[in-house]
Structure 1
């Protein structure tokens, strides 16, 4: 199977408009403005993003994780819309704790279909997603009072130690890569202690892998992993491509449409990673 052609056809056939336009920007030279135009449909009048931009919940209301997803799409496309992002920051500030922390989700999701893992724990403010949101804003070059407040909170939290969950650690590392004097050895020592960290390429379970922490060879975090480990995960990524051209997911979204939507997201992500590591012959 031709990895690229099969992945392209899956995205064209099953992906949402936002993933199709992102694919066209990344692999076909399309104008990133088209990605921004698509994201506008997910932004609410309050400035936040919703409408299932992150497909595990079908809630139209603004949700912090949907804001994070919007930032990820902008960064992937190399797109800019400062007003769009600042409006999202205004909304984050409106729902943050007095210290600036935000949660992944909000209780309003309970009114709509959602994946089983969406529950009380997603309503607790924490480094996931606060640290990741701040790191993404720094990469987007957006200054905002909420960003400064949240960054100070994240720095204080991380001074007390790293989180114990690989998802929260991933978010924290997005923040830390923009901070001075990052201690790579300290991070490397902590990784094996994380819940949901999938260090071995042959581990079939759900988890966060070295390729999530270092999705490109020039990542700040690439030195945490030896060549054999990275190559093993790249081999596994290639092997995991399905017969229909897309990549599968290892959790249960709330329905068939959400499953296809998330598969579109991870398929574009897989192709991006393989391209970055020069493992994707384009044809």
Structure 2
């Protein structure tokens, strides 16, 4: 069975409704309204998103991490719902610090099953996710007072230097590509210094790879990497497909349902990347 068919069958069999609708939109020409409709089930009356949209915690309360996943899903589907997004950004503004920063999660996650890494560090306002949320709003073409306030906070923070971990740097790059402050050489020189950056395609451990930063040939940060680097990671991505057609994850979610949910997310993402690079 070929890569695409095996991945498709995994999504149809084991992924959530949301990833099933996203797959149908990206690969089968389905109306992206189906993705928006599936996302509505995760949006709370306060405008934020929760209910385990990001599956490493099963908390129903609104969290910025889940808002970010909602924005990513809309971007992947090539669609937007102005009212849905406006309500979400209004909620971000309501929980932000006085200067606009937000945290990934909040202590309420402790009342629900969660992965071990969803702990106190995720309660601190930081560039991860504030910078990433600002960047995604730019990509969605959404203006909002919170976006501008948070962008100013990000600029102030970055005056002190880049983050030291690859997740934070990924969020920063989402923000930087919509500014006039882009120095490719400086970013390229910083990547090897990051914790959790997996430059070597032969390394099977958890981490952020070049394909996370440049998931398509026209990605803004594609010039950071050589053709050889990206080809090696694409080869590895193909090799990592599991016998059941899906892709595995390299961390421990809080339970079997979360594991399958995350495998659905990474499988659709892997297929999208392989399609973008003409490797399907």
Q: CA deviation at 1:156?
A: 1.1
Q: CA deviation at 1:73?
A: 0.2
Q: 1:37 matched to which residue of 2? A: 37
SS of the residue aligned with 2:272? helix
Q: Trace 1:56-95 onto structure 2 (pairs within 5 A).
A: 56-95=56-95
Q: 1:109 matched to which residue of 2? A: 109
- Computed over aligned residues only, the root mean square deviation of the Cα atoms, in angstroms, reads 0.6
Q: CA deviation at 1:100?
A: 0.3
Q: CA deviation at 1:159?
A: 1.8
SS of the residue aligned with 2:243? coil
Provide, for residues 34-83 of structure 1, a one-character-per-residue CA deviation record: whole Å limited to 9, x for no partner.
Answer: 10011000000000000000000000000110000000000000111011
Tell me, in whole angstroms, the C-alpha distance in 2 between the residues paired with 1:257 and 1:37: 21
Tell me, in whole angstroms, the C-alpha distance in 1 between the residues paired with 2:187 and 2:6: 37
Tell me, in whole angstroms, the C-alpha distance in 1 between the residues paired with 2:183 and 2:21: 38
Provide, for residues 1-23 of structure 1, a one-character-per-residue CA deviation record: whole Å limited to 9, x for no partner.
Answer: 31000000000000100000000
Q: 1:17 matched to which residue of 2? A: 17
Tell me, in whole angstroms, the C-alpha distance in 2 between the residues paired with 1:235 and 1:139: 29
Q: 1:243 matched to which residue of 2? A: 243
Tell me, in whole angstroms, the C-alpha distance in 2 between the residues paired with 1:162 and 1:244: 39
Q: 1:168 matched to which residue of 2? A: 168
Tell me, in whole angstroms, the C-alpha distance in 2 between the residues paired with 1:107 and 1:237: 35
Q: 1:2 matched to which residue of 2? A: 2
Q: TM-score, normalised by structure 1?
A: 0.98
Tell me, in whole angstroms, the C-alpha distance in 2 between the residues paired with 1:138 and 1:83: 16
Aligned length: 280
Say whether 1:52 aligns with 2:52.
yes
Structure 1, unpaired ranges of 5+: none
Provide, for residues 97-141 of structure 1, a one-character-per-residue CA deviation record: whole Å limited to 9, x for no partner.
Answer: 111000000110000000011100000100000000000001101
Q: 1:133 matched to which residue of 2? A: 133
Q: Trace 1:170-249 onto structure 2 (pairs within 5 A).
A: 170-249=170-249
SS of the residue aligned with 1:89? helix
Tell me, in whole angstroms, the C-alpha distance in 1 between the residues paired with 2:14 and 2:127: 33
Q: 1:26 matched to which residue of 2? A: 26
SS of the residue aligned with 1:44? coil
Provide, for residues 165-186 of structure 1, a one-character-per-residue CA deviation record: whole Å limited to 9, x for no partner.
Answer: 1000000000001111411000
Runs of 4+ in 1 over 3 A off after TM superposition: none
Tell me, in whole angstroms, the C-alpha distance in 2 between the residues paired with 1:126 and 1:264: 28
Q: CA deviation at 1:274?
A: 0.2
SS of the residue aligned with 1:203? coil
Tell me, in whole angstroms, the C-alpha distance in 1 between the residues paired with 2:18 and 2:79: 13
Q: CA deviation at 1:251?
A: 0.2
Q: CA deviation at 1:161?
A: 0.7
SS of the residue aligned with 2:198? coil
